[in-house]
Amino acid sequence: MFENIRADMMRAHRCTKIRRPIDVLRLLWSSQGLQALVIYRLGRWLNNVRKHQFGWAIAFPLYPAYRMLSVLVRKAYDINLEQSADIAAGGLHIYHLGGIEVRNCRIGPRCTIFQRVKLGSAETKNGGLVIGEGVYIGPHAQICADVRIGDGATIGAGSVVTQDIPPRCLVLGNPSRVVQRDYDNHTIL
């Protein structure tokens, strides 16, 4: 868990190393998305720990605390990272707050999402939404179908994606269209 949180913080801090403890506090203070992500990681860790032989002894007392924190984040920031989502280490950088819902999906490393992004559908049949590595998802975008988003794709603001997206594409509009192939989103991630 702590390795994952370290990776998330480094992603948010845009550097390879967090030098001082005050940096951690400043990051947590300024970024509500990071707080939500830390609490999500705690929940994932508790779920894993529970499966070990005496893991329930750790998970049982900590679980109410996790539930309270997750409800708090959901109500206060409106950032809903459900446990059904599988976010890779250093996976997500959440800008701003409000209306973020992530569920039933698998997210690769180095992704960026913004406010009012909805990822994943409520009911899934085959594995759910899969998002590759280094995907940029702009504000108000919705991906509510079980599709595959290729590595390095860029999904513009307000677009509603219902089809598979090949890697390194720029996608805009509702319904979404591939505007440009071989688009480099390295600078904006």
Partner 1 sequence: MNRLIKDIDAVHQRRWPGRPVSLVSRSMLVACSPSLRMMLMYRFAHWSYLKLQNGRPWARLWRIIFIPFAPIKMAFRIISKSEIYERNEIESGVCFPDQGYIIFGPRKTGTGTVIGTRVTVGKGHADNGSPIIGRNVWIGSDCVVYGNISIGDGATLLPGTVLSKSIPAGAVMRGNPARLVLPNFDNSKLLMLQDADAMQYVTEKWGA
Q: Which residues bind partner 1 (CB under 8 A)?
A: 29, 32, 76-78, 96-99, 114-116, 136, 138-140, 156-159, 172-174, 187-188
Report, in Å, the least distance between residue 96 CB and partner 1: 5
Place of tokens 């997206």: 165
Query: Smaller CB distance to partner 1: residue 98 or 127?
Result: 98
Report, in Å, the least distance between residue 49 CB and partner 1: 30
Among 75, 78, 124, 83, which Cα is nearest to 101's?
A: 78
Collapsing DSSP to helix, strand or coil, 105 comes out as: strand
Amino acid at 69: L
CB 183 within 8 A of CB 138: no
Query: Smaller CB distance to partner 1: residue 96 or 106?
Result: 96
Report, in Å, the least distance between residue 79 CB and partner 1: 10
Query: Smaller CB distance to partner 1: residue 104 or 112?
Result: 112
Place of tokens 């702590």: 2
